[in-house]
Amino acid sequence: MNNRIKTPVYVPARIIKNRYGKNTGYFASKKMGRMIQYESLLERDIIYILEYDKNISKYFEQPVEIKCMYFGVIRKHYPDFKCVFADGHTELWEAKPYNKLEDPDVKKNIYLGESYCQQRGWIYKVITDKQIYSNSLVDNIQFLTYYRKQPECSDEIIRQIVQSVVLEEFTTISKILKFLVNVKSEILLQCVYYLIYTQVLHVDLTQALNFESVIALSKNFRR
């Protein structure tokens, strides 16, 4: 007899339809262990952030249907994401282009979302393109996501990389390459990028990532 407990299948409150001309698609989430659907490039890029951010334990797309009276009429709103944080608090996120914030329908959704969250002790946020594209964070996370699976490098190589950072306190990728000359540069780079994505190594990802980016050991990393 198979006594394994099956993980419930997630059913979103609203099904995203693949429409011609719309940037819909799926993101393979390692954090959630399933495909996450999005219906705009802005939503997709927010998912990259949700996936990377260790403060966010889990997240769900199209999580709830909100019904509320708005100027005498029952209105509906489907926020794009529900984010559950490691500290226990919950947020609903709505992805919207900055130039649409004054749209009456958007204002209606914000009102419905804020009212819904206020009743539950949650937080409602509108995430705009102006916010997430104001620096290099999204570009860097997209690049590093390719290295989120541990590459073909031994624990010894990882130990040497960490040790090289500890010795310098602050270092760069180019210095690591020079320090560990016994390891092929291609493998070494894969390991460094993996350690940055898994946040063993800390880099300011709001700045363009390059060989001279300053690297330090993450504060939460235990040696």
| Tens digits of residue pLDDT in 95-139 | 999 999 999 999 999 999 999 999 999 999 999 999 999 999 999
The residues with which 120 forms a beta bridge, in sequence order, are none
Domain spans in the chain, listed from the N-terminal domain onward: 25-132, 137-217
pLDDT at 1: 47
pLDDT at 219: 80
As given in the structure block, the two tokens for residue 207 are 């700045």
Count of CB atoms situated within 10 Å of the CB of 136: 15
Answer yes or no: pTM beyond 0.85: yes
Tell me the per-residue pLDDT of 155-193, one tens digit each, with 9 for 90 and over. 888 888 998 888 887 899 999 988 888 888 888 999 999
Cβ 51 vs Cβ 30: under 8 Å: yes
Q: Are 58 and 31 in contact (CB under 8 A)?
A: yes
Topology of the domain covering 25-132: Trna Endonuclease; Chain: A, domain 1 (3.40.1350)
Residue 186: what residue type? E
**Residue 161 φ/ψ, nearest 5 degrees:** -65, -50
Element (H, E) at 14: none
Tens of pLDDT, residues 9-18:
888 888 887 7
